Amino acid sequence: MNKMIRIGTRKSALAMVQTELVAETLKGVQPGLLVETVTKVTEGDRILNKPLLEFGGKGVFVTEFEQALLKGEIDFAVHSAKDLPMDLEDGLGIVAVPPREDPRDVLMTPAGTDLSAKKEIVIGTSSLRRRLQIEALGKKLWPGSAVRCEDIRGNIQTRIRKMDEGLYDAIILAAAGLKRMKMVNPPADSLEEYFETNGTYDFHYFDCETFIPAGGQGILAVEGRIEDRTCELAVRIQDEEAKTCLILERKILKLLEAGCHEPIGVYSRIRDEQIEVFGINRRDGETKRVYLTGGTGELDLLAERAAKGLR
């Protein structure tokens, strides 16, 4: 086993933190391992004035790293699993899935903000999935107010700054990113609805049944060359439960031919050796939800049933 590996990552603060988490875990299973971080700017990082669906979708955060892997410039690339396209380049694959972080979505507002006092609530999100769910949920949360979603791009800090400047009343972010950046600290033993404040901002965590996450949300995917011996190292940091859930969620998305052009949410979790699946999709003006359970050895069947229910 090589004593030096190179891991590719985007330059954002969150991407660097996520890559460092993987690097430290790898060092923990391979004493003496040296890790070099190789940063790259992706097309998704360069184009911030357009929604992703206008210029390529999920692949815009991945292509540069896949080319670097194929050329042997890096050994692994660390991605947020929800950013990965369904089809990876030939010879490449997800070679490790560490434990899943908090999969919930979080509505973030300036501390003390009473959204119900506003006639119109402007929420920053570029996700069609989040837009679909917050507009529906808003009718219950703020009955006398209209919810309007506006596109927002950029890293966590950029999005918060835009909210602080008054461009948005609230923004929706992934709990996993906020936790990895140490901006929030909810109880670790619960994934239910939860409210938290740090005095500057308020955070409303939605439970995953009410507000269904994106497929792979909260999961890091380590991509590598599937025939390379370095994969033997990556496998040692694998979390089988997170891997199983990611496989199922990606199977469903692939069957739905899902990209960035449809509001699709898929989330799974394992309880008592059973896997639960939650899904939401809107096509042809109709919103559909599914909830299924099955054995962890029935992933193909569950994926087919879920996809059928969401079509």
Mean pLDDT over 99-120 rounds to 96
Give the per-residue pLDDT at 305: 97
Would you say residue 114 has pLDDT above 80? Answer: yes
CA angle, residues 85, 310, 63, in degrees to nearest 5:
5
| Greater pLDDT, 3 or 149 | 149
Per-residue pLDDT tens over the stretch 219-250: 999 999 999 989 999 999 999 999 999 999 99
Computed on alpha carbons and rounded to an integer, the radius of gyration of the chain in Å comes to 19
Within 10 Å of residue 197's Cβ, how many Cβ atoms? 13
Mean pLDDT over 30-37 rounds to 94
Rounded to two decimals, the pTM is 0.92
- Strand order of the β-sheet with 286-295 is 265-271, 274-283, 286-295
% residues pLDDT > 70 (the chain): 92
Per-residue pLDDT tens over the stretch 59-68: 667 888 999 9
Give the per-residue pLDDT at 132: 96
Would you say residue 55 has pLDDT above 50? Answer: no
pLDDT band of residue 53 (cuts 50, 70, 90) is low
CA–CA gap between residue 246 and residue 235 (Å, rounded): 15
Per-residue pLDDT tens over the stretch 255-270: 998 665 789 999 999 9
pLDDT band of residue 46 (cuts 50, 70, 90) is low
Give the per-residue pLDDT at 2: 55
Give the per-residue pLDDT at 257: 86
Spatial CA neighbour of 99 closest among 208, 244, 212, 241: 241
Longest dimension (CA), the chain: 62
Q: For strand 92-96 and strand 220-225, is the pairing parallel, antiparallel, or unpaired? A: antiparallel
CA–CA gap between residue 4 and residue 33 (Å, rounded): 6
Residues tagged active-site: 83
Per-residue pLDDT tens over the stretch 183-228: 998 887 789 999 999 999 999 999 999 999 999 999 999 999 999 9
CA–CA gap between residue 241 and residue 158 (Å, rounded): 33
pLDDT band of residue 288 (cuts 50, 70, 90) is very high
Give the per-residue pLDDT at 189: 78
CA–CA gap between residue 278 and residue 306 (Å, rounded): 8
